[in-house]
Amino acid sequence: METTLIILKPDAVQRGLMGAIISRFEQKGLQIVGAKLTQISPQLAATHYESHKGKPFYDGLVKFMTSSPVLVLAVRGIGAITIARGMMGATFGSKAAPGTIRGDFGVSNSFNLIHGSDSPEAAERELRLFFAAGEVIGWPRHGDAWVYDHSGGKPE
């Protein structure tokens, strides 16, 4: 099982898309194990996006991410990082395929609705930035027997 960070960005929150986006993850079979509506501080945005510091879009990105509340999620499942990133679609809504979150809900080449960790290492780092100890809660879902095939002795 992997746990990944998902951020529903200010444009998703302001457009009232939180429920529709969360539903997609749950319908796919991923488990929401943490959720928090929060206002990102400039310091937290700078830390989160430190790998982009110095790039032309960095200042605008920090300003955008601190402009309105965001919904941060901890999402868990087998292959959750790859699955979530596939569901998100290409970075820009204008280029994202229909059926993806960005492809269905976005057209902007600036506002792109959602962030998802791109690796297990990034997920671990990012989850620690947004969730304190005890805020990500693992809990057994009885429906997982219908999400993952357990016939071989382990879920797949």
Whole-angstrom CA distances from 87 to 67, 95, 97, 114, 133 are 25, 14, 10, 10, 28
Is-catalytic flag, 115?
Answer: yes
Number of other CB atoms surrounding residue 67 within 10 Å: 14
Q: How far apart are CA 104 and CA 149, in angstroms?
A: 30
Q: Please answer whether residues 118 and 85 qualify as being in contact, where contact means their C-beta atoms are separated by less than 8 angstroms.
A: yes
Catalytic option among 48, 52, 115, 142: 115
Q: Which residues are catalytic?
A: 115
